[in-house]
Amino acid sequence: MSNPRIGVLALQGDVREHLAALNAVGADSVPVRRHVELDAVDALLIPGGESTTMSHLLRELGLIEPLRARLAGGMPAYGSCAGMILLASEIIDAGAQGRAAVPLSGIDMTVRRNAFGRQVDSFEGDVDFAGLDGPVHAVFIRAPWVERIGPGVEVLAQAAGHPVAVRQEAVLATSFHPEVTGDRRIHRLFVDIVTEKA
């Protein structure tokens, strides 16, 4: 597969930036808002945003169970920030009942929402990322971190003593936003994962 078809969940967040980054590294990227669009892609990227709002929209659009089914069936996925939260199997501080962030169980991990603090606590810094040549400049915006990983989950990067990038088989997650820095190595890694899976 030379040009994998990768969807970007287009409910909220840096959708255009992720579409552009994926196209820049050889993917055919398309926005995904409906079940039929999800069925038509080889993989899915879940961008940042507000995880409880995104979960509410996933419920309204009837996408939660189709997403869980595709992930359980081995669909490659990548989640950044809120996307990491949604890909978790367990979420700490998931939000108010009825509007809580919904775990899609793409990676066997427990994630804490807003772990680094509120919007004013957002920050940037360089992190070492396993398998990449040189550190990644990471932008953390109301970012989560990983508190528990299950067997088979690989930690790729850490900050403040917690995992901030992980991978389990064909599913990748970062608590930071690579789409805003111009560094395309993580998007390229994801495209490579999708291509290998195919």
* Binding-site residue ranges: 49-51, 113, 141-142
Number of CB atoms found within 10 A of residue 65's CB = 11
Euclidean distance between CA atoms 98 and 143, whole angstroms:
22
3-state secondary structure of 111: strand
Catalytic position from the list 35, 56, 65, 81: 81
177 is catalytic: yes
Euclidean distance between CA atoms 102 and 46, whole angstroms:
13
User: Are 179 and 137 a contacting pair, CB within 8 Å?
Assistant: no
By C-alpha distance, which of 94, 103, 93, 77 is closest to 174? 77
Euclidean distance between CA atoms 198 and 193, whole angstroms:
9
196 is catalytic: no
Q: Where are the alpha helices (DSSP H) in the chain?
A: 15-24, 35-39, 51-60, 64-72, 82-87, 185-197
- Binding residue positions for L-glutamine: 49-51, 113, 141-142
Catalytic position from the list 169, 177, 187, 196: 177
179 is catalytic: yes
DSSP one-letter code for 32? E
Q: At what angle do helices 15-24 and 185-197 cross, to 10 degrees?
A: 70
| Positions marked active-site | 81, 177, 179
